[in-house]
Amino acid sequence: MVSKRVKPKTIEEYIEAAPPEAQDKLWQMHACIRSAAPGAEEGLKWRMPAYSYKRILVTFALFKHHIGFYPTPSAVKVFSKKLSGYKTAAGSIQFPLDTALPVSLITQITRFRVTQEL
């Protein structure tokens, strides 16, 4: 988790404030989303990295044992079969820190969100 004492102002600062053992995965997540949503506005919303065009496409956040990915309920529903190996809720997906990030799946979900917002 990123310390609540640290108040990052950018996504890069958010990642740099994370524990060193989680930073590689956060950088991967950031790069993956950027490539899938070129030109998206980047910033922090609710203290989480967020990417948006007219509205928020996706956000993510670091937790003690996972990275929470928030692509909206519609994306979680559309990709439910591919997400069967992950813990999900209405609009969120948990990617455990002790396994490889499913970069291809994150890319697909982000591209889906881009098509919804354009």
3-class secondary-structure state, position 110: helix
pLDDT tens-digit profile of 55-74?
Answer: 999 999 999 999 999 999 99
20 CB-contact burial (10 Å; exposed 0-12 / middle 13-18 / buried 19+): exposed
pLDDT at 6 over 90: no
Q: Where are the beta strands (DSSP E) in the chain?
A: 41-45, 48-52, 56-62, 66-70, 87-89, 92-96
The reported pLDDT for the residue numbered 92 is: 98
The residue with greater pLDDT, 63 or 6, is: 63
Q: Where are the domains of the chain?
A: 11-117
State the chain's mean pLDDT as an integer.
95
pLDDT band at 4 (very low <50, low <70, confident <90, very high): low
Fold for the domain defined by 11-117: Aspartate Aminotransferase, domain 1 (3.90.1150)
Sheet of strand 66-70: strand arrangement: 41-45, 48-52, 56-62, 66-70, 92-96, 87-89
